[in-house]
Structure 1
Amino acid sequence: MAKQPMLKFVTVERDMPQKRAAEERNKDFHEIYAEYADAKAKEQASRCSQCGVPYCQSHCPLHNNIPDWLRLTAEGRLREAYELSQATNTFPEICGRICPQDRLCEGNCVIEQSGHGTVTIGSVEKYITDTAWENGWVETIAPKKERIESVGIIGAGPGGLAAADVLRRAGVQVTVYDRYDRGGGLLTYGIPGFKLEKDVVLRRVEQLEQGGVEFVMNCDVGSDITFEEIRNKHNAVVIATGVYKSRDLQGPGAGAKGIVRAIDYLTTGNRIGFGDKVAEFDSGALNAEGKQVVVVGGGDTAMDCVRTAIRQGAKSVKCLYRRDRENMPGSQREVQNAEEEGVIFQWLSAPKGFAGDPVTTVKVQQMRLGAPDASGRQSPEEIEGAITDEPADLVIKALGFEPEDLPTLWDQKELEVTRWGTIKAEFTTGRTAMDGVFAVGDIVRGASLVVWAIRDGRDCAAAVLDDLNAAQSVAAE
């Protein structure tokens, strides 16, 4: 009788891949976690209890078949594990690196609830696909049959790329338009290399290019090409622009030099990593070296900023967040990593104003948590008179992102938006009120997770294919 390869959580403890020491990793932009060795990946995968109702799977936006590919990994059947993982997720090695597993799959692991420590799902997911790339199992996209229809996708971020992948595998002619010079969107320019090294993203872009997807880069829709031109050129259009408009700081002095947007700061840091020449970095405007840095915000973008500033050689890095640690939206794992690397968190703190131009001081208002708001979270309230001065040479605004006014920018007044400015689109399909126009990802949801953008892109591509097939059937009658 074959030996049972699973259910070893009782005897085998949870063990994450080795994390590089903080004093070593805070000086470079390489990923901080090592790769599992084959034996360790099998061991950790074998801890899965193979639940009858796998909550890890149901709480994954992509509904990845996690228990089955964990079992295949434990049995040493890695190629099958990769193929099963890839069947539901366009970019499993990216999700394995940057998904907040503590809030999704791992946070809902049954053995975690029983006190045994969750299965390290994300690390195994990353290992499976990295191994697939190393062994040449990731094949070039080769449609069985080419189709004459074409689809234009605006935005080369995770939602747009996921849609491009599904459509191209079905033989559709796909063109992706993007304002940047490299594909990947926020995967390339928003997320720092210590969380997601850029070759991991760009090899996926290259896979799509080799599979026949056309990329039109440095293309700003509304100025370099009109939306109407794109619409006339293709059978369908998918809008996957993401949300790039930064929320602003309020208070006296908020417009001073030295107060910058997180997106500008992170994009510059990633460009420097590529070896690009960036004047704002050379001048020091978007470089934290030797500076007293204050980051305002409590999400994952704020964590990216504080950890980038440490690596650039900041004199000090502090993060202000208006709620407490338990109520912050960012990953607790990221907070721990940042603290290990030397970041100081000031909870229940918010900027009240700024002194100096360039900025020299942040006026910090102490807060307390009051009654719950409409979402159920306790609302922060100011403590009267509790204001302190925090020295700062560089203040980074990481307060989240809002959609740009696309109907105005693209001269498309009939493109319906919600009261938040996001595009109004049908749930699951991404269909808008405009014929043949779809929308996916953050431009529909508001600022959200990469994994949700991938889900939206895949679902939308399926809906586009349904429409193309329906039109083809009508034409054949």
Structure 2
Amino acid sequence: MAENKMLKFVSVEQKTPPKREAGARVQDFSEIYAAFVQPAAQEQAGRCSQCGIPFCQIHCPLSNNIPDWLKLTAEGRLQEAYELSQATNSMPEVCGRICPQDRLCEGNCVIEKDFESVTIGSVEKFLTETAWEQGWVKPRTPRAELGLSVGIIGAGPGGLAAAEQLRAKGYEVHVYDRYDRVGGLLIYGIPGFKLEKHVVSRRAKLLEDQGVTFHLNVAVGDQVKLDELRARHDALLIATGVYKARDVAVPGAALDGVVPAMTYLTASNKVGMGDKVPEFDSGDLDAKGKHVVVIGGGDTAMDCVRTAVRQGAKSVKCLYRRDKDNMPGSMREVKNAEEEGVEFVWLSAPQAFLGDGKVSGVKAHRMRLGLADSSGRQAPEVIEGSSYNMPADLVIKALGFDPEELPTLFGAPELSVSRWGTVKVDFKTMMTNLDGVFAAGDIVRGASLVVWAIRDGRDVADQMHLYLKAKADARLAKAS
């Protein structure tokens, strides 16, 4: 009788791939986790309980068929497991690395309470890296060309997911991006210790091999107007993401040395890729030898504090107005940051940034959690008379992101946006108020996770296909 390779959670303990020691990993920007080797990946995949209602799949934005590809992995049927994994995910090698699995699939694993969850993300990373090594990852070239053209504004995860799907259907796909590399946030925002850049460039090369054309260093509204792109293509997708930094309205916010998170992270990532960044070379965006204070509690704040440690900061503090239990970021990232020497200052918020021309400190006040607000979370309240100062040579604001003013930026005042600045769409068709112009990802839903951008990119590709098919059918009917 064949051995049952599943349901081993009662006999096999949870194990993650080896993690480099903190003292060693802070010396570079390489990923901190090793990859599973096949026996370990199969053993951990075999811990899956194959439950009747897979909460891991339900809580995955992409509805990845996790139990089935875990079973195939446990049985050693790795190519089949990979094929099933990539059927619903345009970038499984990215999601396996940077998804907050502790809040999504793994956090909802039914064996979590008593036996610790299946290490889904690590198995996913193992599968996709094995697939690349074995040559199983191939460009999805179309069976036939449809003779219709699609333009996509934004080469981030949402735009790339849509590009892959639309090109596979047979459309000519052109992606426009204002930066000089493909990947958007994946390249410029997320540090290499979470996502090494070759992982993104490898995916970009695959899309080029699939027939997607990239137009880099092209800022829509500057080099080309939205109207020009609408005339050039049969349909258009806005997938720009959100990059406008939220500010903090306190005295001293304009001092030198008080910088937005994306400015800081982009400089660090560019230097890591070999670019010359004058603001880094001058020391303005380099944390080396400085007292660094990061304001915020999300994953971007964790990226900033951990980057500052690697740059050789004298001290790194994370200032957050709520407590640890109420942090919006991944607890796994918080733990990694603590291991690397970051000091978390809970229940504190900036009152003012101190300094004469250049920041020299942060004046903060203590907070307490009061009654729940409209979101259901306890609202932070200032404790009167609790002010204190801390030294700071570099303050990084990681308070989240808002949309840029796209109607002005694109030279398209007719484009409708919400009161938050996000692009308005019909949520059934994902089309904006402009015929043939669609929008998806963070520019519609607001700042969110990469996995949601991928989901939106795949969904909007289906809606654009329906629109273009109806348009083509109408032309044929008219011609006949």
1:444 positional shift: 0.4
C-alpha distance in 2, partners of 1:229/1:433? 17
2:43 matched to which residue of 1?
43
Letter in 1 for 2:401: F
- SS of the aligned residue for 2:35 comes to coil
Mapped contact 1:428–1:456 kept (Cα < 8 A):
no
1:468 positional shift: 1.4
C-alpha distance in 1, partners of 2:353/2:92? 43
Q: Residues 346-401 of structure 1, C-alpha deviation per residue, up to 9 Å, x if partnerless? A: 00011100111210010011110011000000000000010111100000000000
- SS of the aligned residue for 1:389 comes to strand
C-alpha distance in 2, partners of 1:429/1:56? 28
Letter in 1 for 2:310: R
Question: What is the TM-score normalised by the length of structure 1?
Answer: 0.99
1:2 positional shift: 1.3
- SS of the aligned residue for 1:230 comes to helix
Q: Unaligned regions of 5+ residues in structure 1, if any?
A: none
Letter in 2 for 1:229: E
- Runs (4+) of structure 1 exceeding 4 A deviation are none
Letter in 1 for 2:191: P
2:435 matched to which residue of 1?
435
Q: Unaligned regions of 5+ residues in structure 2, if any?
A: none
Mapped contact 1:428–1:459 kept (Cα < 8 A):
no
C-alpha distance in 1, partners of 2:291/2:53? 50
Q: Residues 180-221 of structure 1, C-alpha deviation per residue, up to 9 Å, x if partnerless? A: 000000000000000000000111111111111110101111
C-alpha distance in 2, partners of 1:142/1:423? 31
Identical aligned pairs, as a percentage? 66
Letter in 2 for 1:240: A
- SS of the aligned residue for 2:115 comes to coil
1:471 positional shift: 1.8
1:358 matched to which residue of 2?
358
C-alpha distance in 2, partners of 1:475/1:429? 20
Mapped contact 1:359–1:394 kept (Cα < 8 A):
yes
- SS of the aligned residue for 1:257 comes to coil
1:54 matched to which residue of 2?
54
1:392 matched to which residue of 2?
392
C-alpha distance in 2, partners of 1:255/1:470? 52
1:140 positional shift: 2.2
Higher mean displacement: 425-434 or 398-407: 425-434
Question: What is the TM-score normalised by the length of structure 2?
Answer: 0.98
Indicate yes or no: 2:204 matched with 1:205. yes
Q: How is 1:160-171 mapped onto 2 (pairs within 5 angstroms)?
A: 160-171=159-170
1:466 matched to which residue of 2?
466
C-alpha distance in 1, partners of 2:126/2:192? 18
1:180 matched to which residue of 2?
179
1:105 matched to which residue of 2?
105
1:46 positional shift: 0.2
Higher mean displacement: 425-434 or 39-48: 425-434
Mapped contact 1:64–1:85 kept (Cα < 8 A):
yes
Q: How is 1:105-254 mapped onto 2 (pairs within 5 angstroms)?
A: 105-113=105-113, 115-254=114-253
- SS of the aligned residue for 1:174 comes to strand
2:18 matched to which residue of 1?
18
Indicate yes or no: 2:3 matched with 1:3. yes
1:474 positional shift: 2.2
1:141 positional shift: 2.7
1:428 positional shift: 5.6
2:449 matched to which residue of 1?
449
Letter in 2 for 1:330: G
1:152 positional shift: 0.4
1:150 positional shift: 0.6
C-alpha distance in 2, partners of 1:470/1:2? 52
Mapped contact 1:323–1:348 kept (Cα < 8 A):
yes
1:367 matched to which residue of 2?
367
- SS of the aligned residue for 2:363 comes to strand
Indicate yes or no: 2:119 matched with 1:88. no
C-alpha distance in 2, partners of 1:464/1:90? 17
- SS of the aligned residue for 1:386 comes to coil
Higher mean displacement: 412-421 or 438-447: 412-421
C-alpha distance in 1, partners of 2:191/2:429? 31
